Amino acid sequence: MIRQDFIALATDLSIEDLLLEYPIASDFLANLRLNSIPKQLSLSQALEEVDEGILQEFGLDKFGVLRSFCEFMETFTPAEVSLHALSSLTIIGGFNKSREPENISLTISCGEIISIVGPTGSGKSRLLNDIECVAQGDTPTGRRILINGAELDDLQRFEMDGKLVAQLSQNMNFVMDLTVSEFLDMHAKSRLTTSAKQVVEKCFLCANELAGEKFMPDTKITQLSGGQSRALMIADTAYMSNSPIVLIDEIENAGIDRRQAIELLSKREKIIFVSTHDPLLALSADKRMVIKNGGIIKVLDISDTEKQSLKAIEELDNTLQKLRNRLRDGAQITVDLLKS
C-alpha cells in the first residue's frame, strides 16, 4: 500500500518546495526526463501538461508516474531514526594492558554526557573505538558493548544506514575540492535530510558560532583550519546526523567554543562520550570514567562539590580565553589582565 504522506508530496506540494525538502526527488525527475516541468505546480498538476509520448517511452502513464514516484520516495527516504529506539548503552569491562580484569558494568541512558579522563596513551581513544564498533569481545580490550541491554549481530553493528555512532576524531582532514556550502549540500542530500536548505543554513551559522575565526559559504573546505573543520563537523553532527551516540576525542584541542559545542549536542538527547584533559569539560559531564594502563579503573558521578567548583574553573577559563584573544590580536600581555 502506498503511504499517504508520499501521495501528499505529489499532490499538495509544489515541485519547487518538494525539491527543497527532498533533494533526492530531482533524481526521479531526471530519470524520466521531467526536469523541465513547471516547478510552481505539484507533480500531479505538472503531469497534466506532459506529452504522454514521453511517458510511454518508460512504459508509464500519468498514474504510473505518480505511483512510481511514491515507491521511489519510500525506497530512498528512510523513516526518521527515533532516538527513543535507543534507550541505553552498557559497557561491560574487559582487560587492561596487563590483562587484569576491569570488573565494570556501566549502563548509560540517552541524554547523559560521560567524560573520559586519563594520561596520554592510557587508552581513552581505545575505549571510544570499542564503543564505535560496538565491540563484542573481539577487540584487544575484550570489552562488550550492549545496546538496550542486548548484543548486536554483525549486520546491525556494521550497518551504515541509520548508523548508531558518530565520531569526531582529533584530526579532520578534507581532501575534496568543495566549498563549505557544496559540502553541506552534499551531506544533506546523501543523508536525505528534510528541509535541506534550512538545515544547511543552520549548520553553517552554528559552525561559525563555534569557530574562532569566521569563514564564508564559498570558502574551500581544504582551506579550513583544524578548529574550523571540527566546528563544521560538530554542527553537521548536531543537525544532520541521526546517530544517537556521539564520540568526541579531545575537543579542547580544536580551538573552538567547546562548552557551547557540548551544550549543542546534549540538547539533541544523545549519549555523548568526551575524551578530555580539560577539567571544565570533565566536570560538566554527568559521570567521569578514569582510564589507566588501558583499563577503566574508576567511574565517578560528578559530585555537588565538583559542580560548585565549576564556577571557579569557568572564571579561570575566561581569563585564559582573554589571554588567548590578546595574543591573537597582537596585544601586550600585562599582569593587570590576570587580575581582572
- Whether residue 120 lies inside any domain: the answer is yes
Residues 140 and 184 both lie in one domain: yes
How far are the Cα atoms of 157, 169, 257 from residue 261, in angstroms, in the given order? 27, 14, 6
- Binning pLDDT at 50, 70 and 90, where does residue 254 land? low
Same domain, 265 and 174: yes
> Mean pLDDT throughout 38-62?
84
Tally of domains within the chain:
2
Q: What is the pLDDT of residue 242?
A: 77
95 in a domain, yes or no? yes
* Domain of 193, in residue numbers: 91-302
Residue 81 lies in a domain: no
Q: Is residue 338 part of a domain?
A: no
With 60 as the cut, is the pLDDT of residue 50 above it? Answer: yes
The residues near 143 (Cβ < 8 Å, ≥ 6 apart) are: 91, 92, 93, 94, 102, 127, 130, 135, 137
Q: Are residues 167 and 104 in the same domain?
A: yes
| pLDDT at position 197 | 83
Q: Determine, yes or no, domain membership for 246.
A: yes
**Which is higher by pLDDT, 115 or 308?**
115
Residue pLDDT, tens place only, 169-221: 766 666 677 899 988 888 887 777 777 788 889 889 888 888 877 889 999 98
Residue 323: inside a domain: no
* Same domain (yes/no): 271, 166: yes
Q: pLDDT tens digits for 64-117?
A: 888 888 888 877 665 443 444 788 999 999 999 999 999 999 999 988 999 999
Between 48 and 252, where is the model more confident?
48
Cβ neighbours of residue 38 closer than 8 Å, sequence gap 6 or more? 15, 46, 49
Are 18 and 118 within one domain?
no
Average pLDDT for the chain: 82
Confidence of residue 232 (pLDDT cuts 50, 70, 90): confident
> Domain containing 35 — which CATH number?
1.10.3910
Three-class SS state of 42: strand
**Dihedral angle computed from the Cα positions of residues 315, 316, 321 and 324, in that order, rounded to the nearest 10 degrees:** 150
- pLDDT at residue 249, as a whole number: 84
In a shared domain, residues 66 and 120: no
Nearest CA-CA partner of 43 in 84, 15, 20 = 15
**239 and 176: one domain?**
yes
Task: Say whether both 120 and 24 belong to one domain.
Answer: no
| Whole-prediction pTM | 0.68
Q: Are residues 131 and 45 located together in one domain of the fold?
A: no
Instruction: Report which secondary-structure segment, H or E, holds 310.
Output: helix 304-328
Q: Cell 569481545 appears where?
A: 137
Domain membership of residue 257 (yes or no) is: yes
Comparing 17 with 118, which gets the higher pLDDT? 118
Pair 238, 265: CB distance under 8 Å: yes
